Amino acid sequence: MTIATSTELICFLILGAVVVIGSLGVVLLANIVYSAFLLGGVFMAVAGLYLLLNASFVAAAQVLVYVGAVNVLILFAIMLVNKREDLKPIEGLALRRLLSGGVCLGLLALLFRVALTTPWAVPGPAAVGAGATERIGEHLFTDYLLPFELASVLLLMAMIGAIVLARRDVLDADVGTGDAVNQALVEKPQTPLLIDESRS
């Protein structure tokens, strides 16, 4: 085993461990802000895995789109919506955990089956190199144009939903005209001014 191969294997093991541990932290941590930051770390580790596959453009897009846009959007939504509320007991929590665990185990078994039954080529296909950007651009604007546009619409809907949820205490009746906002601001109780009577 050469130095380059061993270095690549060590980097792959480190990045894979970061992805697995970070993903478990995203799901299991109680603090949602820590989960969002760990999600950003997982995205960065996935970008490192893309670099190991000689997909530099995809790695840069991963950092720019997922870390720089999606993760920041998630953090803004969390900061807007994260209000201190009393936690209420969830009905059927055990059944929900059982169903979600079964779905996750099924997906994991499917991934293992694909990984074990796929005839992987060794050493693999040659790297595309500088032509990767052109090929990805052609696919994005021809074959995958509709999913590409749908992703942007979904992100816009998520941002609007986060804003509406954050301001639901103010937006009472009419979101379109703004009357509810003005009414809520007018009816908001004012704090009385304290006047020092000793000076009068």
Q: Mean pLDDT over all residues of the chain? A: 78
Per residue in 106-139, pLDDT tens? 999 999 999 899 887 776 666 666 677 788 788 8
3-state secondary structure the chain: CCHHHHHHHHHHHHHHHHHHHHHHHHHHCCCHHHHHHHHHHHHHHHHHHHHHCCCHHHHHHHHHHHHHHHHHHHHHHHHHHCCCCCCCCCCCHHHHHHHHHHHHHHHHHHHHHHHHHCCCCCCCCCCCHHHHHHHHHHHHCCCCHHHHHHHHHHHHHHHHHHHHHHCCCCCCCCCCCCHHHHHHHHHCCCCCCCCCHHHC
The domain locations on the chain are: 144-188
pLDDT confidence band for 199 (50 / 70 / 90): low
| pLDDT at position 11 | 94
Quote the pTM value. 0.60
| pLDDT at position 130 | 65
Which residue type sits at 128?
Answer: V
Q: Yes or no: say if 15 and 49 are a contact pair by the CB < 8 Å rule.
A: yes
For the cut 70, the answer to whether the pLDDT of residue 177 exceeds it is no
